[in-house]
Structure 1
Amino acid sequence: MGDHALPGSPPVPLTLRKSARARRISLRISQLDGRVTLTYPNGVAESDALNFARQKESWIRQHLSDRPDPSVVQFGQHIPVEGTQRRIVRATGRRVLLQADQISVPEGAEARRLARFLKELARDRLTGACDDYAAMLGRAYASISIRDTRSRWGSCSSEGGLMFSWRLILAPPDVLHYVAAHEVAHLAEMNHSPAFWAQVERLFGDYKEQRRWLRDNGAQLHQFRFDAPAS
């Protein structure tokens, strides 16, 4: 892999990847973090791959400009929790409280407190879903970890370790459950073969709508920033 950039304002970082399996030069822009990856075959020169990217520069910049702007969470703002928009308000007590149409957060490091609450809620929901699907599958997983991943919503290691993005708690519950079923299914099929997708459907049911929702809306779950206090 190599790192380059399209010059301009602003520069566009490019990740170059040479692949023995690639038959042509291709561009991919991540739905999650906007990363631009340029893949090219072994027989193609790096300079030719970069020229290809330069020819596609207007398309790349247009696609990136359509992405939602980052937004630091703050009081008065709405944020989706389990797919329902909730207004962030000041709490009268000392703990974060999730209600039907709002989420109350104590003042003082509000963004970090809210993130901590959402991560724990995600862990609770994902653990429950994975326990149910693992029991249906008849396979045990080794562990569950919750992270703020940018490149994927979940993963399953060969040792049975499940990993999920905590931002799934912002998505509708059926989307979270689909991702849980997807990763648990890897305990039986460590691939994306027809047999794997059959396991996902056996565990979850028809998953096409939830998979489409993530493709169309997943990037919006990453627009919320929790690295600064609310005002």
Structure 2
Amino acid sequence: MRVNKPEYREAKGFIAEVVRTNRRKSADIRVEEGAVTVVVPANTPAERIDDLLTAKRRWIKEKIALHQEMAPASSKRYVSGEAFSYLGRNYRLKVEKGPFAPVKLVQGRLVVSVPQGSQQPHMIRNALIRWYKRQAELKLKEKVARWAPQVGVEPTGVAIKTFKSRWGSCTAKGELQFNWQIMMAPNRMVDYVVVHELCHLIRHDHSPEFWGQVGRILPDYEQSRDWLKHNGHRVSAL
């Protein structure tokens, strides 16, 4: 459980997101999708966090480099004026030079502040991923709360994940898991994915009965399913 809003620490060549929690007694550094997160006990001093990042700097840089080598080639340059899709609408990126500040949607622009240097595109990409994940956490929970009563189910929880080839999943324990990249698709596609996973709480297959449940809530679901099938690779490119 987070007890404060995330904070950030600048290091040489990367930005680390700090998550303070009462559930940990020791620090844990993670590098996921090239983004660095350090989870620490709630009262950990900032100086202690800086010392941890310095001590693990080589390992962190190796993890980041490995991700960059394995990541699919992107046409994005992460420069001002470039368009990024959010719920089907394009928003222009505005890059400001200075101390790191996370992405904010301001007057129709995605604004981010990062230090100048060779790692700037990497930092901007990670800042955008963090922003999309936060939006996913907020919006998808709202949509689950909206659609669940109509489907007639109660999921045990909602989690945001990174999936390579699917938009969502329903666990055996009733937790719904969603790929944060769905936030780049039009709003009705997001609704379809939410309803799809909610219906899996009734049927854990793709039988005619399952699709009947989806169709009961979204009569035109086939349009959304086909749209994602043919356009999903484009909206998820970051």
Return the TM-score normalized by structure 1: 0.62
Spell out, residue by residue over 1:22-76, the C-alpha distance to the aligned partner (whole angstroms, 9 max, x if none). xxxxxxxxxxxxxxxxxxxxxxxxxxxxxxxxxxxxxxxxxxxxxx952345122
1:88 and 2:89 correspond? no
Q: Which residue of 1 aligns with 2:217?
A: 203
Q: Which structure ranks higher in relative contact order (CA pairs < 8 Å, sequence separation ≥ 6)?
A: 1
Which of 58, 66, 71 does residue 75 from structure 2 map onto?
A: 71
User: Given that residues 153 and 164 in structure 1 are in contact (C-alpha distance below 8 angstroms), is that contact kept between their aligned partners in structure 2?
Assistant: yes
User: Given that residues 203 and 210 in structure 2 are in contact (C-alpha distance below 8 angstroms), is that contact kept between their aligned partners in structure 1?
Assistant: yes
Aligned amino acid, residue 88 of structure 1: L
User: Where does 1:77-226 land on structure 2 (aligned, <5 Å)?
Assistant: 77-91=82-96, 94-99=101-106, 101-108=108-115, 109-224=123-238
Aligned amino acid, residue 128 of structure 2: L
Spell out, residue by residue over 1:112-162, the C-alpha distance to the aligned partner (whole angstroms, 9 max, x if none). 122111101011111111112212222211121111211211111121111
User: Given that residues 154 and 163 in structure 1 are in contact (C-alpha distance below 8 angstroms), is that contact kept between their aligned partners in structure 2?
Assistant: yes
Is there any run of 5+ residues in structure 1 with no aligned partner, and where? 1-67, 225-231
Alignment: residue pair count: 157
CA change 1:100–1:172 in 2 (3 A) is: farther
Is there any run of 5+ residues in structure 2 with no aligned partner, and where? 1-71, 116-122
Q: Distance in 2 between matches of 1:148 and 1:72?
A: 19
Aligned amino acid, residue 141 of structure 1: P
Q: Distance in 2 between matches of 1:222 and 1:137?
A: 27
Query: Which structure 1 residue ranges, 4+ long, deviate > 6 Å from structure 2?
Result: none
User: Given that residues 73 and 111 in structure 1 are in contact (C-alpha distance below 8 angstroms), is that contact kept between their aligned partners in structure 2?
Assistant: no
Larger radius of gyration: 1
Aligned amino acid, residue 86 of structure 1: Y
Q: Which residue of 2 aligns with 1:30?
A: none
Q: Secondary structure at the match of 1:96?
A: strand
CA RMSD in angstroms, aligned pairs only: 2.2
CA change 1:69–1:212 in 2 (3 A) is: farther
User: Given that residues 102 and 131 in structure 2 are in contact (C-alpha distance below 8 angstroms), is that contact kept between their aligned partners in structure 1?
Assistant: no
Q: CA deviation at 1:193?
A: 1.4
Q: Distance in 1 between matches of 2:87 and 2:236?
A: 15
